[in-house]
Amino acid sequence: MLSKAASIVIFLVGAITAYSQLAKERSFDVQKVGDGVYAVIRREPASFWFNANNVFIVGKHDVIVVDANITAAYTKEVIDALREITDKPVKYVINTHWHEDHIIGNRAYREAFPDAKFVGHRSTLKDLPEIGGANRKGTLENGRGFVGMLEASLEKGESIAGGAITDEERAGYASDIKFVSSYLAESSTFEIVMPDVLVDDRLTIDQDGRKIEVLFFGRAHTGGDLVVNLPKEKIAITGDLMVYPVPLLGSTSYPLEYPATLERLKALGGRTYIPGHGPVMKDAAFLDKMIALATAVRDRSKAAYKPGETIEQMRSKIDLSDQQKIFAGDSRHKGFIFRNYVTLPATAAIRGFLEKTHTAAVPN
């Protein structure tokens, strides 16, 4: 039989192991940002794959959640964290947009809270099955190859951007491998939960006296970006309209409209911003940088566009190195992200939009 002291030691070791296990497994921090408002901020490093931040808005009787995660398994970890805060049920899950890193985990909320309703922009009904469906198919076909490329790069100690791999790239690739692998592992059981409460321009929710506004300011990161604004608490949950450290202006985005949409977000006034990816921000400094970036991308691309020229000819006239420096600094990894998530897709998207306008304007 164990002595009392020995059993206490064993209990303590067990408790500490369980706690550190929990701390080790969780790749997010839960930060209280207002009365009953908690931001779930991902800890994974910036790289090519993403997992969304989340927000819990806890009321007297229920909880409103902003955004799910890239898999139901990740979302279940977030729901466990919510249950440590409250046992109240989730009434609404607001998806800020239809990208999979914000929406695949909806299913975990539906399983845990069968009465939960899902709020999304009306364009989600079309964009999630059509563009999202095509993207998903591409990921399922190419995901394994992407993981293989990153694994080979780690193995050989070579950056995919060329040269010896840096610690930052190692951490980024390892995170990407984890995300893609968990996505592929779950993909055979994916169930896409579509919104059942649709927003066009605005939806106001009264959560037992707390006013929650779900606002559409125009197209930017996608065709249906929603901002969740808490006017009294002065908190804006921006989805991927704001992403730190490198913004996502390119693929499935509307870079010609992005600056105006961000200006409308800024017009809400000084507040705390919770971005789709990145840390909680207490002022508009980063938003201002993003407005300057989006404006530079729009104006320089428009100035460089000439009907009939190739995308390479157009790009040869666009220099965004000053902007890359602001968001990526001297980091090769972040520079590579900037090139692949801003420069290349945004210039291609803008050329596509201008091409359409030009063709439409030419009489046949």
Binding site residues, Zn ion, CB under 5 A: 50, 101, 240, 276
Task: Collapse the DSSP code of 235 into the 3-class scheme (helix H, G, I; strand E, B; otherwise coil) and give the result.
Answer: strand
Q: Are 192 and 184 in contact (CB under 8 A)?
A: no
The least CB distance from residue 90 to Zn ion, in Å, is: 20
Task: Collapse the DSSP code of 291 into the 3-class scheme (helix H, G, I; strand E, B; otherwise coil) and give the result.
Answer: helix
Residue 49 or residue 56: which is nearer to Zn ion going by CB? 49
The least CB distance from residue 221 to Zn ion, in Å, is: 8
Residue 176 or residue 240: which is nearer to Zn ion going by CB? 240
Rounded to the nearest 10 degrees, how much is the dihedral formed by the CA atoms of 238, 239, 240, 244? 70
The least CB distance from residue 96 to Zn ion, in Å, is: 8
Residue 50 or residue 254: which is nearer to Zn ion going by CB? 50
The least CB distance from residue 99 to Zn ion, in Å, is: 5
| DSSP-derived secondary structure letter, 128 | I
Task: Collapse the DSSP code of 192 into the 3-class scheme (helix H, G, I; strand E, B; otherwise coil) and give the result.
Answer: coil
Tokens of 177: 């491998």
The least CB distance from residue 101 to Zn ion, in Å, is: 4
The C-alpha angle with vertex 138 and arms to 133 and 141, in degrees rounded to 5, equals 125
Q: Outline where 157-228 has alpha helix (H).
A: 167-186
Residue 50 or residue 336: which is nearer to Zn ion going by CB? 50
The rounded distance, in Å, linking the Cα atoms of 108 and 70 is: 11
Residue 216 or residue 305: which is nearer to Zn ion going by CB? 216
Residue 238 or residue 301: which is nearer to Zn ion going by CB? 238
The least CB distance from residue 229 to Zn ion, in Å, is: 19
Q: Are 220 and 258 in contact (CB under 8 A)?
A: yes
